[in-house]
Amino acid sequence: MAKRILVCAAWPYVHAVSHLGNIICMLSADVIARFYRQLGYEVEMVSGSDQHGAQMEFEAKKLGITPKELVDMNHKIVSDVILNKLKFSFTNYSFTTHPEHIKFVREFYKKVWDNGYIEVKDETLPYCDGCKRFLPDRFVVGKCPHCGNDKALGNQCDECGRILDPTDLVEPKCSECGATPIFKDTKTGYFDLPKIVPKLWEYVDTKKAEWQPRVVHFTERWFEEGLNQRPITRDLSWGIPAPFPGLEDKCIYVWAEAVLGYLSTVVMRGKFKEFWQEPIEKSYFCLGKDNIPFHTILLPAFILAHGNINVPDIIVSNEYLGFGGKQFSKTRGTGVWLNEIIDTVPSYDIWRYYLYRIYPENKDTDFSWKDFAKKVNSELVANFSNFVNRVINLLNKYYDGKVPEYEAVLADDKKLLLKIKKCKEKVGQLIKQGKIREPLDEIMLLSKAGNEYLQSKEPWKNKTNQPTLRVCAQLLKVLSVLLHPYLPEATEKLQKLLNVDNLLWENIDAVPEKVEKPVHLFDNIDVEKVKKKIEENRKKTGGKLLEEKEEKKEAEGTLFKKFDFRVAKVLEVKDHPKADKLFVMQIDLGTLGKRQIVAGIKGHYTPEELVGKQIIVIANLKPAMLRDEESNGMLLAGVEGKGKEQRIGLVIAPNSAPGDKVSLKGESQEPAHEMTINDFAKLKIATKDGKVVCCGKPLATEKEDLSAEKVSDGACIE
């Protein structure tokens, strides 16, 4: 098998300039690619700008420019920051309007057609007679049938989060001219996904042992819900023309052509056979968790339908990056965009370091300015850079820059050398598994151990300990190699300071002979100056200024942390003696004891269904008398619809224990003594992606994310 590694990063849409959250998958890819190059592998690392689709056309029309002008402008900005500033080591960062990509996609899907995996069906779609065109999702606006939002789009309601079809909208209108569309018949090409299911199952079974648990979960859930035929063509003018007979006026759906960019970029490099057809050691696909099924089901399905191409191996998925407890939003000024970080810090490795330190490996994480300053100044500068500076200074002071020989290897020396050995082994294992943040944690702990070792030896006081500096010099060489995938610019400078020029792992333990005069790798940053520069850059692009209080969630109206949400086990349920729609329930709150609550869920649950169920209760709600029965708490339930059509489903935590605390995932609560129902009414809690979400984050115990029974996405939690 060839000693080759293929590393692919998900392609960001360029209807707008990407924000920091959009490049998390590229951070993953760069660590893996640089690491394997250090091991002596031939590595192809590819990605590019996703330039097709209705969203590009929609945004271009709003700006009064062509889609091509829009995507080319944004691609240039994004690629410049990615390649020249953040120094991601792509061998090819391309774009989907590239002629070679278009040619490859058409030839690929023609083969899929020839193999019998495309079916043509009649379909009814909205058509604007004034604009003389079919209206894809974003070109239709109307009233959401679920929540009444009158600005819902033909693919989704941003208010309640429901996925929609243009035919679902009440009073639909063309978003461009405002006319009421008619519905016309058209022909659509469908990819016959069910036909490939047996081969797809076999593929998943052979690969899932190396996949992250969430990757396996997302993939298996798609299988459980049933794999149906999926439309692969659209009635769009902005896209790749379909190569199917009778559908030449259609375009390939953007999700079906963008994933082939991983293949076309390697074709452009002249290495398609070597990396996509011949056996290689591994391929890594780095992406956000929302993209998992596109890489574990759809891309493999396309490849299997085509034939004679390698399927993906390891899927490296990440959770989401937020900003001050909120989702990134350019209209609100929350978040940081790539074109705004230009010239904000002396080295772009500072941005790389912080993003790797908050990398959302196992849970959603937040960018915050306070944390940015802390991690850069207290870790990158005070730990790593300070250690480098002290060792180089001491070697110049006592040995004229020459690295001394050992007179004797003492117990403390052996202890640190053993830590170096264990760290190397662990970091290598973790990166091969697709871990990104955890290896960096280990490396920074090793740097901290070096600082502590140097401080304990005090060679500036005790001359007999000055040979200790040889161990420190060896550690600096090791750190230059281990940190290179994360901090390429700084580690190259460090190697020059050490007079070595080899970042390969095979030479990781080589001890430098002579060091140069000290140069600071990093200095403390003033975060207020960084923010000011970002605001200056933002003004140039017409964006809103940064929200000054993005970290003060409570000041922004978020009261969530004041509530004491707990898991409760239902012990007993009786009819309320004076109310037809109420139950009187006895619950167990673990260490908080047993209580009585009154709940208006009669008619939606029977007592038998409730007893033994583990629900979520507000434990610090002000007690109330409901029709002469005391209620000492309130359960959480999802509610959707009205009247006879109303559905109520309890928020549950079946795998937790009575009394377990509930918080926003990754955070902790700071409960007040007592809260009121009016306080709770100020919170906006809803269901999204099968979870219960507030402030853009899932509600969770230490054991599980919460979900709501019986209701769908977009249901309000009351």
Burial label for 259, CB within 10 Å (0-12, 13-18, 19+), is buried
Does the pLDDT of residue 159 top 70, yes or no? no
Cβ-based neighbour number of residue 643 at 10 Å = 5
Strands 280-288 and 314-318 come out as parallel
Question: If you average pLDDT over residues 164-182, what whole number do you get?
Answer: 84
Does the pLDDT of residue 556 top 80, yes or no? no
**CATH 2.40.50.140 residue ranges in the chain?**
560-717
pLDDT in tens, 626-684: 878 899 999 999 988 766 678 899 999 999 999 999 999 888 888 888 888 877 877 88
pLDDT in tens, 31-43: 999 999 999 999 9
Amino acid at 281: E
DSSP state of 34: H
In the numeric block, the tokens 């037809």 are attached to 580
CATH topology of domain 560-717: OB fold (Dihydrolipoamide Acetyltransferase, E2P) (2.40.50)
pLDDT, averaged across the chain: 90
The SS3 of residue 60 is helix
Pick from 44-48, 527-531, 551-555: least confident: 551-555
Percentage above 70 pLDDT, the chain = 95
Residue 636 Cα distances to 557, 600, 617, 694, angstroms: 20, 11, 6, 13
DSSP line for 393-456:
HHHHHHHTTBPPPPS---HHHHHHHHHHHHHHHHHHHHHHTT--HHHHHHHHHHHHHHHHHHHH
pLDDT in tens, 213-241: 889 988 988 887 788 899 999 888 889 99
Does the pLDDT of residue 429 top 70, yes or no? yes
CATH number of 350-507: 1.10.730.10
DSSP state of 380: I
pLDDT for 552 equals 38
d(CA 340, CA 541): 9
CATH classification number, 2-116+191-318, choose in 3.40.50.620, 3.40.50.300, 3.20.20.190, 3.40.50.720? 3.40.50.620
Question: If you average pLDDT over residues 20-33, what whole number do you get?
Answer: 96
Better-scored residue on pLDDT, 403 or 2: 403
pLDDT for 329 equals 67
pLDDT for 554 equals 41
Q: Are 583 and 631 in contact (CB under 8 A)?
A: no
The predicted model scores a pTM of 0.75
Cβ-based neighbour number of residue 630 at 10 Å = 13
DSSP state of 623: P
Percentage above 90 pLDDT, the chain = 63
Q: Of 447, 462, 338, 449, which is closest to residue 79 (Cα–Cα)?
A: 338
User: What's the longest Cα–Cα distance across the chain?
Assistant: 91
Pick from 149-153, 261-265, 376-380, 702-706: least confident: 149-153
Q: Of 70, 105, 81, which is closest to residue 18 (Cα–Cα)?
A: 81
Q: Which residues contact 345 (CB under 8 A, 6 or more apart)?
A: 351, 525, 530
**CATH 3.40.50.620 residue ranges in the chain?**
2-116+191-318
Does the pLDDT of residue 157 top 80, yes or no? no
Burial 181-200 (b: 16+ CB within 10 A, else e): beeeebebbbbbbebbeeeb
Q: Of 241, 255, 113, 236, which is closest to residue 186 (Cα–Cα)?
A: 236
